[in-house]
Structure 1
Amino acid sequence: MDTAKSRIDALHRAATQTAMLRLIPLMCAIYFMSFLDRTNVALAKVQLAADVGISAAAYGLGSGIFFIGYALLEVPSNLAAHRVGPRRWIARIAVSWGILSTAMMFVQGEWSFYALRVLLGIAEAGLFPALMYMVTLWFAPEDRPIAVGWIYTAPALALVLGNPVGGALMQLGGVGGLHGWQWMFMIEGIPSVIAGIVLYFKLPERPRDARWLSSEEAEALEARAVIDTHGHPELTSADWFAALKRPTTVLIGLIYFLNQVAFVGLYFFTPAIVQQMHVKTPFIVGLLSASVGVGFLLGVLILPRIHRRYGNDCVYLGILTAGLVAGACAFIATANPAGRMVLLAVTAFFGGGVLPSYWAIAMKRLQGIQAAAGLAFINTIGLIGGFVGPYLFGMTETFTGRSDSGFLVIVAASVLGLLLVPVFARAIRREAGASNAMGNGNAAGMQS
């Protein structure tokens, strides 16, 4: 029996490695493009103010309002992904947001800026939770922090590479009678449409659909991943709505919300913070702004691997959230520009590096259609934080005249998140206790 188990374990490890090598690059590519297309507006902030009169407050509102359109359709979109299959749905999302991202080149003022940002959010709704839903179909719980960590390298690389590339594209201003920001939106939007088409043909939805897996490997993966109830006629709204009412789902969503207030505000305003350090050239601004992406990238590569070996999820969340508070406080207390660049990376290391842990913890408690609904619901709450963060950063800049005053928002949001971690821990214990009591009751009923 031990020999058979060892063989199955080895088969599962090999299949998991193959799946990661085949799937993760495709998932990263599509998420990279989405993050690039939603955040490249940060590089255009100053030029949009000069060319079409968009103020700091209007920019903050427009940057964040993307997340309102995204949040409104997040749960319905991921339920559609569960119904029609994530491959088709992710491809549809990519093509539609790529078209709208390109259309950002036609912004004429504040209202067209708001409208296109809302439409971009609506088009992209459901992408990230659909990717997370796919993770539940392919990978065992112990492998998910690593898989999600690899997926999160995509937005980190989008900040590392996208900022200098976008800064270089901004310097095309005047070519063909277009502003630099118009060239940037056009050149960076079109590849998303192409990526969506490629994904439609290349991305298998679940192990049994993958031609590059043997039937034994596919069975080994599906046996240890979440059991999906897709296609069962008895499923009703109560089956997925139950996931939305669970205290653990709501609390991890609120902690994620506060993280997004801090982290999204940070990366949308980093170029403005760098510019206020007397950096003028768009390319150099983009290059230095990549420090946030470097910190983010290191965080998602290092911290999920530590989490995999750490026993207590909530203690680990508390440590990382405390690190975010410490990094932000150190930035506020530091005046030296070089030190501030390092602390931008440190803040992003904790603020972005914690993200895979949120999803790995949530996935432990959700499966099947509950995973599709619950993960989308958590992302919806977080997306509202993505709206609130840039808006608060924009308001603080309007009141103080300095972009770096937004770090006060980071400190406040992170402290609140830290206070919620022990509440979340209690909810987990209560949920586990109720589940054990129900199991014991069922066992007693069977014995009688």
Structure 2
Amino acid sequence: MAKVKRRLVPLIALLYLIAYLDRNNVGFAKSAMAADLGFSDAVYGLGAGIFFIGYVLFEVPSNAAMYRFGARRWIARILLTWGVMACAMALVQGEKSFYAIRFLLGVAEAGFFPAVLFYFTLWFPTAQRVAVLGLFVMAQPVANALGSPLSGLLLNLDGALGLQGWQWMYVLEGLPAVIMGVLVPRLLTDRPSQASWLEPEEREWLVETMDAELAAKGVHGGQPFLAGLKDRRAWIYGGLNFGMVCGIYGLGLWLPTIIGNLGRFDSTTLGFLVMIPYAVAIPFVYLWSRNADRTGRRALHAVISLITAAAGLLGAAYLLPVSPVLAMVLLTVAAVGIYSAIAPFLSMPSAVFAGAAAAAGLGLVNSLGNVGGFVAPYIVGLIKDTTGSDQVALTFLAGCLAVTGIVGYLYANRRPEGNAAVEPARAAQQS
């Protein structure tokens, strides 16, 4: 398993880092695009969030194609098309083109995250999956930690070859996806049975282990693709994921603006300041995920993280006008809570399904969740346009996270995927 982790996880995490950078760099371009193109907060919020409309609409169909053609080829297709659309953001000339290209970027990237979740169900036993997801999810804060100063520096390229700094940022940060789209078919392996880089006895052991786990899930392992869409657990976890994603993207897409309001900073300084919360979150993501694996208390770990994030956002909201330093500390606490919640939370639905039903169920969970990626930035933009208040916006995001954490715990802690001590038979009776 150590060999499998070394071979697959760094590559998948790198791809997710690139994806996260390309979808979130619009947060850094906000001020420059507003100055050049006259965007209001509401226009920015709608454009930032409309990415997720395209993403949500094509998420499940994309996962169906991934199951049909194989993760290796389909992930390569996703990389190539989203890289092209990420670079095309440099062509934005007004509101309509902003909305259109952000929507198409979402269409292009649709299916990547659930494809990875499904891919991990083929390679890693359930008992090890939270820690692996933790390594994968670390790409989110790493992308923001590295992308923040990088985006800030690229914004300084104003005037080079006749392009604005924000246009250079989109082009140079979109190209890695295109390059990796060419390389991925040579670097990924679809299934353990095809892993020529494992010794024969290692390959045989992994195939038998994953087949035994599939068989242990009974009918769910053999259900067809559409069965995953009909399972009420996929809808419940998708609804909970919606609340968590509201917090993730509500904070991520607006954090540069919020920190910019703490003082007068140039783009480079702002980039390094925004890096701080994400950099601090990185070690917590992996350590918390490992602890969730060790104890089997995934629901408990998820709710602690989400409540911590809510407390951090709420505290930051009311300390912003009082103490910028303390507000920054609490925004960092919020980032730690939000990102450390993702792996324990998503490991629960990924433990429920197998086979084709997993491709559909995980696609649905991620699709419903990413509606929050549209709703949160748009509502935050409307709140800021209407009230001019960061406090009200952050209170809204904190409420989303707190409600999600409490409801998620009440549901998942009585189920085996959320609490390993719960017997599956008892969970079935409670359902």
Instruction: Please report the TM-score for the alignment, with normalisation by the length of structure 1.
Output: 0.88
Matching residue of 1:7: none
Matching residue of 1:395: 382
Residue 210 of structure 2 corresponds to residue 225 of structure 1: yes
Which shows bigger deviation, 168-177 or 114-123?
A: 168-177
* Structure 1 residue 228: Cα displacement: 9.8
Matching residue of 2:113: 128
* Structure 1 residue 256: Cα displacement: 1.2
Q: If you compute each CA radius of gyration, which structure gives the higher value, 1 or 2?
A: 1
Q: Flag the 1:425–1:192 CA change in 2: closer, same or farther, 3 A.
A: closer
* Structure 1 residue 155: Cα displacement: 1.8
Tell me the C-alpha RMSD between the 2 structures: 2.2
* Structure 1 residue 270: Cα displacement: 0.6
* Structure 1 residue 36: Cα displacement: 0.8
Q: Flag the 1:158–1:312 CA change in 2: closer, same or farther, 3 A.
A: closer
Paired with 1:321 and 1:419, the residues of 2 have a C-alpha distance of 9
* Structure 1 residue 302: Cα displacement: 1.9
> Quick check: 2:228–2:359 contact (8 Å CA) kept in 1?
no
Which shows bigger deviation, 124-133 or 427-436?
A: 427-436
Matching residue of 1:83: 68
Q: Flag the 1:431–1:384 CA change in 2: closer, same or farther, 3 A.
A: farther
Choose the corresponding residue for 1:47, options 25, 28, 32.
32
Matching residue of 1:257: 242
Residue 419 of structure 2 corresponds to residue 432 of structure 1: no
Matching residue of 2:346: 359
Q: Which amino acid aligns with 1:401?
A: G
* Structure 1 residue 244: Cα displacement: 2.6
* Structure 1 residue 292: Cα displacement: 3.2
* Structure 1 residue 25: Cα displacement: 1.3
Partner-residue secondary structure (3-state), 2:39: coil
Long gaps (5+) in structure 1: 1-15, 230-234, 438-448
> Quick check: 2:72–2:185 contact (8 Å CA) kept in 1?
yes
* Structure 1 residue 211: Cα displacement: 2.1
Identity of aligned residues (%): 36
Long gaps (5+) in structure 2: 215-219, 417-421
Residue 272 of structure 2 corresponds to residue 287 of structure 1: yes
Choose the corresponding residue for 1:343, options 325, 330, 347.
330
Q: Flag the 1:245–1:227 CA change in 2: closer, same or farther, 3 A.
A: farther
Q: Flag the 1:341–1:297 CA change in 2: closer, same or farther, 3 A.
A: same
* Structure 1 residue 192: Cα displacement: 1.0
Matches within 5 A, 1:26-425: 26-225=11-210, 239-334=224-319, 335-403=322-390, 405-425=392-412
Matching residue of 1:3: none
> Quick check: 2:16–2:140 contact (8 Å CA) kept in 1?
yes
Paired with 2:427 and 2:401, the residues of 1 have a C-alpha distance of 31
Paired with 2:164 and 2:108, the residues of 1 have a C-alpha distance of 25
Q: Flag the 1:248–1:428 CA change in 2: closer, same or farther, 3 A.
A: farther
Partner-residue secondary structure (3-state), 1:225: helix
Q: Which amino acid aligns with 1:410?
A: L
Q: Which amino acid aligns with 1:63?
A: A
Q: Flag the 1:187–1:413 CA change in 2: closer, same or farther, 3 A.
A: same
Paired with 2:128 and 2:52, the residues of 1 have a C-alpha distance of 29
Q: Flag the 1:373–1:228 CA change in 2: closer, same or farther, 3 A.
A: farther
> Quick check: 1:137–1:227 contact (8 Å CA) kept in 2?
no
Partner-residue secondary structure (3-state), 1:205: coil
| Equivalences, count | 416
> Quick check: 2:193–2:204 contact (8 Å CA) kept in 1?
yes
> Quick check: 1:145–1:356 contact (8 Å CA) kept in 2?
yes
> Quick check: 2:237–2:349 contact (8 Å CA) kept in 1?
yes
> Quick check: 2:223–2:356 contact (8 Å CA) kept in 1?
no
Paired with 2:424 and 2:405, the residues of 1 have a C-alpha distance of 22
Paired with 1:379 and 1:267, the residues of 2 have a C-alpha distance of 18
> Quick check: 2:298–2:345 contact (8 Å CA) kept in 1?
no
> Quick check: 2:300–2:413 contact (8 Å CA) kept in 1?
no
Q: Which amino acid aligns with 2:95?
A: E
Instruction: Please report the TM-score for the alignment, with normalisation by the length of structure 2.
Output: 0.91
Runs of 4+ in 1 over 3 A off after TM superposition: 226-229, 402-405, 425-437
Partner-residue secondary structure (3-state), 1:73: helix
Paired with 2:299 and 2:341, the residues of 1 have a C-alpha distance of 12
Paired with 1:28 and 1:426, the residues of 2 have a C-alpha distance of 28
* Structure 1 residue 400: Cα displacement: 2.2
Paired with 2:348 and 2:228, the residues of 1 have a C-alpha distance of 14
Partner-residue secondary structure (3-state), 1:364: helix
> Quick check: 2:59–2:110 contact (8 Å CA) kept in 1?
yes
* Structure 1 residue 426: Cα displacement: 7.4
* Structure 1 residue 435: Cα displacement: 7.8
Which shows bigger deviation, 340-349 or 422-431?
A: 422-431
Partner-residue secondary structure (3-state), 1:361: helix
* Structure 1 residue 421: Cα displacement: 2.2
* Structure 1 residue 186: Cα displacement: 0.8
